[in-house]
């Protein structure tokens, strides 16, 4: 019907080649080279830092945590957006479905990253170092921790202890892994069966994904609280999990746009990525930019208004002693720049500029994580200062993300880039103005 | 001002958006500038085809939003710092974090109002009369399923006979002359 209506000049046949183009292998190789270079730089910085202030390997682990949260955001955030997309539908999602699937299938690598944290948790978490009442009391007496920390350590021990940390984290990984595996295997079977089974498959994907989104919201809260928030035992915020949830949407959409635009240099995305859907993705990203500042500022405003001694210190640690510069830059990078740029309709429809903005957004997420992680530690709270070790934040996450990108590229190569048998596919092949 | 008389333009009806866009593109390429497309739903390609890329609504919205935000922030600052300073739990009188929320709300409000009223001001709505209402097929189909291209008499190229022949060459369903 579409062809009859719009005539020959708007015909857009489905490309014959649906697999990932050959240059994805090139991306993988480049990513591996970047990984090796930055990993080597990190090790050098770690030794320099160790010689300088004895914190070189501590900074290594903190930077590792940043890399973990970043790649975890890609993998599990990709899974979450995939589930949202299966429930909500939408043509933008059909484009991203296979890239998101590939992101969710990198979960094993993220688990390996997490294992390093689990092994060295004593270096990162006070509650892993002082696991009994007596050791906490001794540390307090020696002046290693303050009274508030000692109180919180004892009070929160049923939740914050190594056993619970490992058990809960592994459970979360099992749940995410189950969903990632289920969605990927169902997708393959769906492709193999004919279009007549599509309505049944759509229902089936919805039934898996709907509850999956709820489970994701719970598990992301648990994971972010255990992995990052608990580095400061005295502080808590009920919106913390949601901040990471939104951050992952921000991150995954930015990465998804970069991938879709980069893939559009060759078939099948050359045909499939229309300006309409690119514009839609840009708008959705813009919504996440807004939601992100909304939640972050909301948390700040509530704690600033309350001005309670057990809450405000978390912000003071992150504003005083030079950290005000970082949070100001964070605000500019994370909100002001993407917000003002993504307001522009022309930019959202321009492949090159949209890619640049999305790359910058991923960088902004890393800056934000740096601001969240580093001031948790006594040597850095209210005291931003240069050391060789702190430079590892700029190298190790790059190496870890590069390795993750290589894994992502390998996953992307394993199956066709488009899900056939989807009603949206016919729509995406229509001329653009039929949907105005 | 006396009522205008004479021919407003020539109205060609097309069956599909594709046909309309093709014809409009052709007419624009052939040098027509006083022309317009009428469709039952927004058709961006049609607007692009006749060389209509930009309007000032985004600018009006931006200015309205910025002014609204600045006005509310200034009002709050004036009240809290100059007119009626209060000590609220020892916080500074210039407490910008608390000022941001109403300022943000006013940004949204004034951006929205500016977009709505700016659009109306710039497109000439509300308007009770348009010459095209004289065309019966326009009245019955312009908001449901018909696509129209109108070459206006104000265009220097306009000539009742030649232009009609030209429009018929673009393969419309019909071409009618419309009076003011």
Pairwise CA distance, residues A66 & A371, whole Å: 10
- Reduced to 3 states (helix: H, G, I; strand: E, B; else coil), residue A319 is coil
| CB contact set of A328 (below 8 Å; sequence gap of 6+) | none
Selecting from A6, A297, A345 the residue whose C-beta is nearest the C-beta of B16 gives A6
Å from B45 to nearest chain A CA? 6
- Reduced to 3 states (helix: H, G, I; strand: E, B; else coil), residue A310 is helix
Pairwise CA distance, residues A374 & A230, whole Å: 13
Pairwise CA distance, residues A378 & A55, whole Å: 12
pLDDT < 70: residue spans in chain B = 1-3, 53
Q: What pLDDT does A296 receive?
A: 96
Q: Do A7 and B41 touch (CB under 8 A)?
A: no
A427, A434, B15, B25, B141 from B145: Cα distances, Å: 20, 13, 8, 20, 6
Pairwise CA distance, residues A5 & B18, whole Å: 7
Pairwise CA distance, residues B159 & B141, whole Å: 26
Q: What pLDDT does A436 receive?
A: 40
DSSP string covering A342-367: HT-HHHHT-HHHHHHHHHHHHHHHHH
The closest of A150, A178, A160, A290 to A227, measured between CA atoms, is A160
Q: Do A297 and B100 touch (CB under 8 A)?
A: yes
Q: CA angle, B11 as apex, B7 and B12 as ends, to 5°?
A: 155
C-alpha dihedral (A339, A344, A349, A353), degrees to nearest 10: -60
| CB contact set of B98 (below 8 Å; sequence gap of 6+) | A301, A305
Give the best residue of B18, B50, B63 to mutate against chain A (max A CB count within 10 A): B18
Is B131 in contact with B178 (CB distance < 8 Å)? yes
The closest of A197, A201, A268, A244 to A412, measured between CA atoms, is A268
Is A98 in contact with A417 (CB distance < 8 Å)? yes
Using the Cβ of A309 and the Cβ atoms of chain B, whether some distance falls under 8 Å is answered with: no
Q: Which two tokens stand for residue A166?
A: 């490992």
Pairwise CA distance, residues A44 & B13, whole Å: 73
DSSP string covering A4-60: HHH-GGG--PPPS--SPPTHHHHHHHHHHHHHHHHHHHHHHHHHHHHHHHS-HHHHH
Using the Cβ of A302 and the Cβ atoms of chain B, whether some distance falls under 8 Å is answered with: no
Q: What pLDDT does A347 receive?
A: 94
Among positive and negative, which fits the CA dihedral A244, A245, A250, A254?
Answer: positive
Using the Cβ of A174 and the Cβ atoms of chain B, whether some distance falls under 8 Å is answered with: no
Q: Do A307 and B21 touch (CB under 8 A)?
A: no
Pairwise CA distance, residues A292 & A278, whole Å: 21
Is the previous residue joined to A328 through a cis bond, with omega within 30 degrees of 0?
no
Q: Is A90 left (phi over 0), alpha (psi -120 to 50) or beta?
A: left
B19 → chain A, closest CA residue: A6
Mean pLDDT by 10 residues, chain A (436 residues): 40 79 94 97 96 95 97 97 92 90 97 98 96 96 94 95 97 98 92 86 94 97 96 94 96 96 91 90 96 96 93 95 96 96 93 97 97 95 94 97 97 89 80 54
ipTM of predicted assembly, 2 dp: 0.81
Selecting from B19, B45, B97 the residue whose C-beta is nearest the C-beta of A301 gives B97
Alpha helices by DSSP H, listed for A228-331, are: 240-263, 269-272, 275-306, 309-317, 323-331
Contacts of residue B101 in chain A, CB cutoff 8 Å?
Answer: 301
Q: From chain B, which residues contact A within 8 Å (Cβ)?
A: 16-19, 21-22, 41-46, 58, 89, 91, 97-98, 100-101
Is A96 in contact with A142 (CB distance < 8 Å)? no
DSSP string covering A394-411: HHHHHHHHHHHHHHHHHH
Q: What pLDDT does B124 receive?
A: 82
Beta strand B35-38 with B147-152 is antiparallel
A306 → chain B, closest CA residue: B89
Q: Do B18 and A304 touch (CB under 8 A)?
A: no
Q: What pLDDT does A108 receive?
A: 97
Pairwise CA distance, residues A76 & A173, whole Å: 9
Selecting from B18, B46, B98 the residue whose C-beta is nearest the C-beta of A10 gives B18
Pairwise CA distance, residues A197 & A199, whole Å: 6
**What is the H or E stretch that residue B41 is in?**
none
The closest of A409, A367, A400 to A41, measured between CA atoms, is A400
Number of H helices, E strands in chain B: 6, 4
């Amino acid at each position: 019907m579409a062809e009859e209506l719009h005539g020959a000049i708007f015909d857009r046949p489905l490309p014959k080649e649906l697999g990932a183009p050959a240059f994805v292998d090139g991306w993988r190789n480049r990513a591996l080279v970047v990984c090796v270079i930055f990993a080597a730089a990190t090790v050098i910085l770690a030794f320099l830092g160790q010689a300088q202030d004895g914190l070189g390997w501590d900074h290594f682990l903190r930077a590792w945590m940043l890399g973990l949260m970043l790649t975890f955001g890609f993998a599990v955030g990709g899974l979450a957006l995939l589930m949202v997309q299966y429930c909500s539908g939408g043509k933008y999602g059909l484009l991203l479905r296979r890239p998101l699937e590939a992101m969710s299938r990198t979960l094993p690598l993220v688990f390996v990253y997490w294992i390093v944290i689990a092994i060295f948790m004593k270096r990162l978490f006070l509650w892993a170092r002082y696991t009994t009442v007596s050791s906490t009391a001794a540390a307090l007496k020696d002046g290693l921790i303050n009274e508030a920390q000692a109180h919180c350590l004892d009070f929160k021990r049923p939740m914050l202890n190594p056993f619970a940390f490992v058990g809960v984290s592994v459970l979360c990984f099992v749940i995410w892994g189950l969903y990632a595996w289920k969605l990927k295997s169902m997708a393959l079977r769906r492709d193999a069966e004919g279009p007549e089974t599509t309505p049944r498959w759509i229902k089936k994907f919805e039934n898996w994904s709907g509850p999956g989104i709820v489970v994701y919201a719970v598990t992301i809260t648990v994971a972010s609280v255990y992995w990052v928030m608990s580095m400061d035992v005295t502080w808590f915020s009920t919106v913390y999990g949601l901040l990471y949830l939104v951050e992952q949407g921000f991150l995954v959409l930015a990465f998804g746009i970069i991938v879709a635009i980069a893939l559009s240099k060759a078939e099948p995305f050359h045909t499939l990525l229309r300006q309409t859907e690119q514009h839609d993705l840009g708008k959705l990203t813009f919504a996440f930019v807004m939601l992100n500042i909304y939640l972050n500022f909301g948390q700040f405003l509530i704690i600033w208004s309350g001005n309670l001694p057990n809450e405000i210190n978390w912000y003071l640690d992150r504003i005083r002693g030079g950290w005000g510069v970082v949070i100001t830059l964070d605000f500019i990078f994370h909100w002001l720049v993407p917000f003002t740029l993504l307001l522009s309709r022309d930019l959202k429809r321009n492949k090159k500029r949209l890619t640049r903005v999305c790359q910058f957004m991923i960088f902004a997420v890393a800056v934000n994580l740096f601001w969240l992680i580093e001031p948790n530690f006594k040597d850095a709270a209210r005291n931003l200062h240069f050391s060789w070790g702190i430079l590892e934040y700029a190298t190790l996450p790059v190496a870890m993300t590069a390795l993750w990108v290589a894994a992502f590229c390998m996953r992307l190569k394993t199956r066709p880039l488009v899900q056939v048998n989807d009603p949206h596919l016919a729509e995406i092949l229509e001329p653009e103005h039929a949907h105005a | 001002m006396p009522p205008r008389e004479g021919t407003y333009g020539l109205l060609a009806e097309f069956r599909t958006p594709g046909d309309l866009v093709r014809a409009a593109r052709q007419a624009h390429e052939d040098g027509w500038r006083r022309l317009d497309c009428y469709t039952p739903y927004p058709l961006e390609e049609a607007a692009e085809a006749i060389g209509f890329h930009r309007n000032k609504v985004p600018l009006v919205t931006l200015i309205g939003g910025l002014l609204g935000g600045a006005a509310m922030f200034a009002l709050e600052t004036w009240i809290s710092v100059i007119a009626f300073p209060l000590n609220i739990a020892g916080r500074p009188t210039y407490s910008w974090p608390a000022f941001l929320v109403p300022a943000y709300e006013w940004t949204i409000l004034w951006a929205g109002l500016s977009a709505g009223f700016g659009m109306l001001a710039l497109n000439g709505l509300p308007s009770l009369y348009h010459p095209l209402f004289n065309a019966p097929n326009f009245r019955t189909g312009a908001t449901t399923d018909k696509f129209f291209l109108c070459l206006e008499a104000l265009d220097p190229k306009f000539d009742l006979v030649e232009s009609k022949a030209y429009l018929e060459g673009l393969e419309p369903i019909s071409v009618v002359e419309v009076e003011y």
